[in-house]
Amino acid sequence: MVLSANDKTNVKGVFSKISSHAEEYGAETLERMFTTYPQTKTYFPHFDLHHGSAQVKAHGKKVAAALIEAANHIDDIAGALSKLSDLHAQKLRVDPVNFKLLGQCFLVVMAIHHPSALTPEVHASLDKFLCAVGNVLTSKYR
Amino acid sequence: MVHWSAEEKQLIASVWSKVNVEECGAEALARLLIVYPWTQRFFDNFGNLSSPTAIIGNPKVRAHGKKVLTSFGEAVKNLENLKATYAKLSELHCEKLHVDPENFRLLGNILIIVLATHFNKDFTPACQATWQKLVGVVAHALAYKYH
């Protein structure tokens, strides 16, 4: 699966649109993931996961920053996220299936806040991008 | 058997009552074919699926999308009895249509996104969770008779 020139344009377009809300959307993505897929909470036993949790906000900000970084270096996502990839492989070891769940929730957040921006073509590009990010983060698992 | 809380039933009913089945169905199927183009493999006889514009405007896509979402309405009416409700459709999808059940999950996720674009903030996390559960059990019921 390769990101076409159109995909890259679409993804960059989305992220430039949401840059001022990135942290908020990151937190909302996580909250939705924890609510919709409770098994994802098992990776955060040390967190307060109640609505409005400061830890979830902070973590949402990190997740959003990583996605922005990937979008800004969309020609070399593996390079941009190399350290995060190491972290996930060696320390976090989040099961690969969970990146799809996070991706779904991120798309829902986009759909809610920017429905007109999430045309079918942009939806497709974003979905591909999120898959690519997930692949990079799990690429060193074995 | 799946258990539905009173809150979940309420969230399902209230969303469904506001869904335009024809529009949402058409949109969901079009997005499935656009976002996951390999799903087009089941629709060789649908004519022009060569671009997102072609897919969105394709009358067969619209009609079939409406059919699919109308059938989904049966789930909403029969929450306590989904396996029985979808038994025949499950056999059909296995024996005649040869559809990998993974496609039901893909369509379910797409439907969630379509609902989110229409309901905006009203599509709360609890609402999303309930509807993801619903599309999941519908997918499971549709795969149940596979052999």
Q: Do B125 and A35 touch (CB under 8 A)?
A: yes
Percent of chain A with pLDDT over 90: 97
For the stretch A1-55, pLDDT in tens is 799 999 999 999 999 999 999 999 999 999 999 999 999 998 999 999 999 999 9
**Rounded to 5°, angle at Cα A137 from A53 and A23:** 30
The architecture in CATH of the region B6-143 reads: Orthogonal Bundle (1.10)
Listed by start position, the domains of chain A span: 5-138
Side-chain-facing half-sphere of B138: CA atoms under 13 Å? 25
Model ipTM over 0.90: no
Which residues of chain B neighbour A37 with C-beta distances below 8 Å? Answer: 132
> Are B35 and A115 in contact (CB < 8 Å)?
no
What residue spans define the domains of chain B? 6-143
CATH-assigned architecture of domain A5-138: Orthogonal Bundle (1.10)
**B118-131 confidence digits (pLDDT tens):** 999 999 999 999 99
Cβ separation of A124 and B34 shorter than 8 Å? Answer: yes
Asked whether residue B139 carries a pLDDT value surpassing 80, the answer given is yes
Tokens of B81: 């009895």
Q: How far is B117 from chain A (nearest CA, A)?
A: 5
B136 touches chain A (CB under 8 A): no
Interface of A with B in 26-65 (CB under 8 A): 31-32, 35-37
The predicted model gives B19-46 an average pLDDT of 96
pTM of the full structure: 0.90
Report how far residue A129's alpha carbon sits from residue A132's, in angstroms, rounded to the nearest whole number.
5
How many Å apart are CA A82 and CA B7, to the nearest integer?
43
